[in-house]
Amino acid sequence: MNNNAACLEREIAWFTQVCDMRFRSYFSDGDDTRPLQESCPVPDLHTDDGPYAELVLQYQMGFEERVIFLLAFLPHCRPQALDIFMLQNAQTGRAYSEIGGWRGKIHGGFLPTCETAAFILAGNDLEERFNVARLFQEDHFFLQQGILRLEHGANGEPFFGSSFMLGNEYLQRLSSGEIHKPDFSANFPAKLMHTKLSWSDLVLNPEVMEEVENIVTWLRHPQLILQRWGLEKTVKPGYRSLFYGPPGTGKTLTACLIGAAVGADVYRIDLSMIVSKYIGETEKNLASVFDQAQNKKWILFFDEADALFGKRTQTSSSNDRHANQEISYLLQRVEDFPGVVLLATNLKANIDQAFARRFQSEVYFAMPDPTQRERLWRGLFSQADSLGPDVDFKRLAEKYELSGGALLNVARYAAIRAVRMQRQAIVQDDLIAGIGKELMKDGKTL
């Protein structure tokens, strides 16, 4: 980070020189009519190894990109460097409209807009102004990779009045050298999922494992799959899969293990913070998640998905129309998302058919059979000396039909019971008592 600070000091000095040249040429009719690129050549960063230099070299940023990149970063690291832009027009008594910018609610310094970037890079040159506009288009790496975030003003206001900010991931990277991962918040209603388990702990049917392997293969070789057979013209880049089946059968664990297998972060979407009774809020909350995940190697996992992806209804009221609009918006965002979306539900019949037609796969997680249940029992208690001699996993597996999630609850209850009884080992009665508790949840008895 010391190298990064030294690199930024040189870059800020260069940026200040660029701004001085622009102000002199614009307000004082300076004698130097050379383009800014010639008057203020960009510093060479090939010998620097900090995160700032890495990003500039990674995206091969030219003169214009580096000016805009610094303009977005300076309010966070050197706000006084932008004080020069807070000039007042003596004739009108207000700020110069061609310089743009705005003030925050708390931050007292200058915050740039696209107009500010156009002023520095184009001045009064209309052709150059149009060139600057291209740097803020959706297909430019600034927005495509989430380096910059644009916030447009009210409807009907000029595009160059939009403010732009550095994306949180890149702000964190430049400030601390760490790769930022968004935290659960009102602005990002999703939580990063982790697991200490491995594939050996997951017990699934061979048919299910084959479908899971298809998803893993897609994540590892998406470009190869699309390009080798010329599918990129007709097949969209994303992958969508529906996991359905009884609770506790491994849907969430499978999503976590898929992410671990390919080195991708898995984010579980919190539907309680997504769905809102206010019109337009649900779509806004979803857009926040999808926009941040757009160009990341993330897996979005919607648990209890029928709460959000349910069937559309006949429109008999404004509420029905609003609910149907939400589902239509979801359908569009899920279909256009270039990453992997996994939906999990206990009841497949509740999912709208418009979604079902767009899934690349539908994976049924069935209740484990006796052989699989015995494997799950033995996987839960890997330390044989913690079990009493009367424990018979085979008998338990054959007699009681329970899911993997239910077996976890039984194991926890049995361990608590053994401690409460001041025993060093879990006995068969502990397990049977725990099984009875689980069966009671479904209205069953031993």
Query: How would you write the pLDDT of the chain (446 residues) with one tens digit per residue?
Result: 688 899 999 999 999 999 999 998 888 765 556 788 888 999 999 988 889 999 999 999 999 999 999 999 999 999 999 999 998 888 888 889 999 999 888 888 999 999 999 999 999 899 999 999 999 998 899 998 889 989 887 778 899 999 999 988 888 888 887 766 776 665 677 889 989 999 989 999 999 999 999 999 999 998 888 888 888 888 888 899 999 999 999 999 999 999 999 999 999 987 766 766 666 667 777 777 887 787 788 899 988 877 676 654 544 555 545 555 666 777 788 888 888 999 998 888 877 777 777 788 999 999 999 999 999 999 998 887 889 999 999 999 999 999 999 999 999 999 999 999 999 999 999 999 999 999 998 888 87
Contact 111, 149 (CB under 8 A): no
Phi, psi angle pair for 166, to nearest 5°? -75, 135
Q: Are 442 and 406 in contact (CB under 8 A)?
A: no
CA distances from 260 to 42, 190, 266, 441 (A): 41, 18, 9, 33
Q: Is the pTM of this model over 0.75?
A: no
Which CATH class for the 370-441 domain? mainly alpha
Which residues face 151 on adjacent strands? Answer: 163
Give the span between the Cα atoms of 306 and 286, in whole angstroms. Answer: 15
The superfamily CATH assigns to domain 190-364 is: P-loop containing nucleotide triphosphate hydrolases (3.40.50.300)
| d(C-alpha 296, C-alpha 219), whole Å | 12
- Taking the CB of residue 385, how many other CB atoms lie within 10 A of it? 6
Residue 97: count of CB within 10 angstroms of its CB: 12
- Residue 186: the pLDDT is 59
pLDDT score at 9 = 94
Are 428 and 439 in contact by the 8 Å Cβ rule? The answer is no
Take residue 151 and report the two structure tokens written for it: 């916030």
Per-residue burial over 104-118, b if 16 or more Cβ lie within 10 Å, else e, is eeeeebbbbbbbbbb
258 CB burial (10 A radius; 0-12, 13-18, 19+) = buried
Alpha-carbon Rg of the chain, whole angstroms? 29
Nearest partner of 347 among 268, 251, 239, judged by Cα: 251
Buried-state track 8-26, b at ≥16 Cβ within 10 A, e below 16: beebbebbbebbebbbebb
Q: Structural domain boundaries of the chain?
A: 2-176, 190-364, 370-441
- Closest C-alpha to 372, from 250, 213, 197: 250
> φ and ψ at 300, to 5 degrees?
-95, 125
